[in-house]
Amino acid sequence: MSKNHNPWLWVPPLYLTEGIPYVLIITVSVIMYKNLGIDNSDIGLYTSFLYLPWVIKPLWSPLVDLYSTKRKWFLGMQLLLSLAFLGVGLVLPTSHFFVLSLALFWVACFASATNDIASDGFYLLALKEDQQSFFIGLRSTFYRVAMVTGQGGIVILAGYLETRIGDNSKAWSLTMVVVAGLMFLLTLINFFVTPNVEKDKGYKKADSLTFSKVFVSFFRKKEIWVALAFILFYRLGESQLVKMASPFLLDSKADGGLALSTSDVGLIYGTFGVIALSLGGIIGGLVISRDGLGKWLFPMILALNVPNFFYYLLAYFQPESAFYAGFVVVIEQLGYGFGFAAFMMYLIYVSEGPSKTSHYAIATGFMALGMMLPGMISGYVQEWLGYEGFFIWVVLAAIPGILMVKYVNFPSDYGKKKENK
């Protein structure tokens, strides 16, 4: 294949294929298990534990450099993802579906995390520096499209099949088979459109074998433990909300929920919610570029957490109309996108230095850990406190991260666009 394949052809499907497995495993699985009768405590614990491969992916990332090519790695992982989702679809109608599907999701998790490593590495290798900057927007856009596809289209499809077939197990089984087919189609597209820019024989990254030193150097950064604490606390409330928001919308009024349909949740979260999330992220990036991170970090962490209080109001009043739930989700997702822009910018700052790529992988691993651990207990907390008490707890859990803002140090103009002279 030519090295000069047009990035407009291969960047979109590559990042669509990176985003769809993640949103299916982390978000859509919550809705699926809820509709298949799994308790909130088990949903929160086991689906949060699925974050683990993204937490520890820096530990095996050198293998992607040492053996074969990044293109072969991501094509292999994408094919494995297709098979894993097919397996999930086939086991859902069985009596032991929960254990079997979780085992297959674990396979998909490691394949997806490895696909992320290989795809991101391929992006950096296949494009020159100026191209990397130019196509970063296209890359992010299609990752968002993947979220709409997963949280919107696929959930709406499952809801339609639930109504049409009248059997949730069969409906979700067929949905996951469709997902497997979609992943296989995207794998074929990536096979034909991605350029073969690496040589199989003798390809090695020069500094791969110094990975242990790179890893240790991350923890020798100035005030790194304060930075890591901030990373872990930044989304302490949100990490629990994200696991229980969909069950809350789906649960019956008697159980404290809003009794919305699966299709309603797919439309609200996967369409309007993702649009608001993307808009918030764009606005966040623009204001940081204009003024620097120092001015916006505190307002942005507030924007990420304060809207969560509206979920308490939903739980208290339990409105009949889905409009109110949609309005709250849009506000919360807009704030989340806005606040998350500051978080990602801070992660980039923490990763600065000669080993930026490896250090960024470690920082994002801690970011995933900050989502995994609180998410694992979210279902138990919700069942203990009820939805009203749980949403109050979510708001209170944001306080440590907010208080830590004054203890993290970075240049106030970090991220500000430099004027050309």
Domains assigned to the chain: 1-194 (1.20.1250.20), 213-409 (1.20.1250.20)
Cα torsion 399, 311, 232, 136: sign: negative
Please give the single-letter amino acid code of residue 13.
Answer: P
Look up residue 288 and give its two tokens.
């940081």
- Write down the pTM of the prediction: 0.75
Look up residue 410 and give its two tokens.
């970075």
Please give the single-letter amino acid code of residue 254.
Answer: A
CA pair distance 304, 334, nearest whole angstrom: 8
**Strand stretches in 27-90, DSSP E:** none
Look up residue 255 and give its two tokens.
């159980």
Tokens 């189609």: give the residue: 185
Query: How many alpha carbons lie under 13 Å from residue 320 in its C-beta half-sphere?
Result: 0
Length of the chain: 421
CA pair distance 97, 67, nearest whole angstrom: 35
Look up residue 221 and give its two tokens.
């950064």
Tokens 């820019």: give the residue: 197
Query: How many alpha carbons lie under 13 Å from residue 392 in its C-beta half-sphere?
Result: 7
What is the per-residue pLDDT for 121? 76
Cβ atoms 187, 111 nearer than 8 A: no
Cβ atoms 12, 106 nearer than 8 A: no
Please give the single-letter amino acid code of residue 364.
Answer: T
CA pair distance 44, 41, nearest whole angstrom: 5
CA pair distance 48, 176, nearest whole angstrom: 20
Regions in the chain scoring below 50 on pLDDT: 1-4, 133, 200-204, 206-209, 421
What is the per-residue pLDDT for 132? 55
CA pair distance 178, 149, nearest whole angstrom: 12
- First CA to last CA across the chain, in angstroms? 42
Of the candidates 295, 374, 293, 294, the residue with the CA atom closest to the CA atom of residue 341: 293
Of the candidates 85, 200, 91, the residue with the CA atom closest to the CA atom of residue 77: 85
Look up residue 260 and give its two tokens.
């919305």
